[in-house]
Amino acid sequence: MLQGEMYNPMDPELVRERERARSKFQEINSMEETRKEDRDLLFYDLLGKAGDGLYIEPPFYCDYGYNITAGDNLYLNFNCCILDVMPVSFGNNVMLGPNVHIYTATHPLELKLRYSGKELAKPVTIGNDVWIGGGAIICPGVSIGNGSVIGAGAVVSRDIPDNVFAAGNPAKVIKKIDNNS
């Protein structure tokens, strides 16, 4: 799975690991707001690695959790969903709006292979100082460059370079951003 090869998502070990993550994020999602410190500790335990300043607004959903890594100051707004079959890495100072979905899992295009029940996955990399607007979808295998902004509702199906604003379906670069001012 982590080598990008076809895998069986119903493998008993994978099922147990997804159940572990679901138990943890369900506990997190049901915690009272007054228990934010306890919630934050559980988020740090759920994710593979995260720097200082992790802030996640519940509800939050993921497949495994341990394939998600983040630098400092990651902010995920309400209802983010990360299907982390492969690594999802966030740089420093990244903000996601509400309802952002990040997918690493995908399925074969060929009907016979798709009916086999096996899946594929491709990693997602999000650079430093990135802002992803609400409702955006980041597809498997995508990298988003440093300093870039993704517009609300965008479907990012290919790599986005550094310091640009990209939006649409499929997302395309709309303009360059001067981040040196």
- The predicted-structure confidence for 142-179, as pLDDT tens digits, reads as follows 999 999 999 999 999 999 999 999 999 999 999 999 99
Q: Is 180 inside a domain boundary?
A: no
Span 94-111, average pLDDT = 95
Q: Read off the pTM.
A: 0.94
Rounded Cα distance between 126 and 55, Å, is: 17
Structural domain boundaries, residue 80: 12-173
Distance CA 98, CA 59 (A): 10
> Tell me: the pLDDT tens digits for 37-47?
999 999 999 99
CA dist., res. 77 & res. 90, Å (int): 15
Q: Structural domain tally of the chain?
A: 1
78 in a structural domain: yes
Contact 59, 78 (CB under 8 A): yes
Distance from CA of residue 105 to its chain's centroid?
11
101 is catalytic: no
- Asked whether residue 17 is domain-assigned, the answer is yes
Which CATH number characterizes residue 43's domain? 2.160.10.10
In order, the DSSP letters of 45-65 are: HHSSEE-TT-EEPSPEEES-S
> Per residue in 62-83, pLDDT tens?
999 999 999 999 999 999 999 9
Mean pLDDT of the chain: 96
DSSP 57: P
In a domain, 4, yes or no: no
Task: Examine residue 108 and state whether it is found in any structural domain, yes or no.
Answer: yes
Residue 74 identity (one-letter amino acid)? L
Separation CA 83–CA 64 (nearest Å): 8
Q: Which of 107, 118, 122, 172 is catalytic?
A: 107
Does any domain span residue 3? Answer: no
Could you tell me if residue 2 is inside a domain?
no
Look at residue 7 and tell me if it is in a domain.
no
